[in-house]
């Protein structure tokens, strides 16, 4: 009996540690806005996205010295498209086409998409508990980005929803497929960043072109986005997908908006309204509700596919 209690305690501790480490990824991603606006050249979000993904992917692939085998070429290309390339494109398109934080509000639909895709592809339970958590999280994002209503670009709305669906399907497929036996987590991350960066490169060059001049500050910003925002953050994110239920991971993604708002308040002296505080609390509540159901189930083992 004592041994079982100890095992249950260690399981709970392992779950909490994994939850905290995975949460570090969206918290880091929340700093992307400040880095982009304060350190990088103006009006070049797609170049920033490409610089965030491609150099980091090349670095990790060269360090790992492991090639995909068989069907993993196509699988990694698909995951790179969904988790990196298409998602980044949709995110920046929606952010430019829609007012205020509407893009963030649309991206907060991701947990709902993960529940639906997980039900179809992973045979996951679709409970009222999770749906309530999802709508609380969306309400929290709405309060965080609350702005004066205005006419919205229809294409921006659809592209924003496509971005949320892209990231959600990437999370679910990563959970379903696991990762190749011959790859470490960093190599697995690197190949996705590489494929995603390669897909973004021609679009960035065609839409924006290369910046005429890069300062040392800009290089510092690109280095941060690549090493911290891509290598570290995505490694923690994919580790979390391996160890945690897909729905729980998707709720952690909502922390990105909370991080962006808090960093704007702390670093840029932006106002933090009472409604935004309520929104942040609502997001934390939705994450707690989603995590509570996960802790009641047996923890999932790390998946590694053939």
Q: What is residue 148's predicted lDDT score, i.e. its pLDDT?
A: 44
Euclidean distance between CA atoms 124 and 247, whole angstroms: 9
Residues of the chain with pLDDT under 70: 1-3, 6, 9, 98-105, 125-130, 144-152, 270-272, 290-306
**Tokens describing residue 218:** 């800009």
Q: Backbone phi, then psi, for 182, in 5-degree steps?
A: -85, 5
Is the backbone of residue 100 left (phi > 0), alpha (psi -120 to 50) or beta?
left
Q: Backbone phi, then psi, for 191, in 5-degree steps?
A: -65, -35
Q: What is residue 194's predicted lDDT score, i.e. its pLDDT?
A: 96
CB 111 within 8 A of CB 257: no
Beta strands in 20-178, from DSSP E residues, in sequence order: none
Query: What are the residue ranges spanned by the domains of the chain?
Result: 2-295
């Amino acid at each position: 009996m004592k041994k079982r209690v100890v095992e249950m305690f260690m399981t709970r501790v392992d779950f909490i540690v994994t939850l905290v480490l995975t949460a570090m990824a969206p918290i880091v991603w929340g700093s992307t806005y400040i880095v982009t606006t304060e350190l990088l050249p103006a009006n070049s979000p797609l170049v920033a996205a490409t610089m965030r993904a491609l150099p980091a992917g090349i670095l990790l692939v060269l360090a790992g010295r492991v090639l995909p085998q068989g069907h993993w070429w196509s699988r990694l290309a698909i995951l790179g498209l969904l988790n990196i390339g298409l998602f980044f494109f949709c995110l920046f398109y929606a952010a430019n086409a829609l007012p205020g934080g509407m893009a963030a509000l649309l991206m907060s639909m991701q947990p709902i998409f993960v529940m639906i895709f997980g039900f179809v592809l992973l045979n996951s339970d679709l409970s009222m508990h999770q749906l309530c958590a999802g709508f609380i999280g969306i309400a929290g994002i709405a309060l965080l980005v609350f702005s004066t209503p205005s006419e919205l670009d229809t294409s921006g709305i659809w592209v924003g929803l496509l971005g949320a669906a892209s990231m959600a399907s990437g999370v679910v497929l990563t959970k379903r497929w696991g990762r190749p036996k011959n790859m470490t987590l960093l190599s697995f991350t690197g190949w996705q960043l590489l494929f995603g960066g390669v897909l973004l490169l021609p679009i960035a060059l065609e839409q924006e072109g290369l910046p005429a001049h890069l300062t040392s500050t800009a290089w510092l910003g690109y280095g941060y986005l690549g090493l911290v925002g891509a290598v570290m953050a995505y490694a923690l994110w994919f580790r979390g997908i391996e160890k945690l239920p897909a729905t729980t991971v998707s709720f952690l993604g909502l922390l990105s908006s909370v991080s962006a708002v808090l960093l704007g308040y702390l670093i840029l002296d932006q106002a933090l309204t009472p409604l935004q505080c309520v929104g942040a609390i609502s997001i934390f509540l939705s994450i707690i509700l989603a995590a509570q159901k996960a802790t009641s189930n047996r923890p999932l083992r790390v998946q590694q596919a053939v």
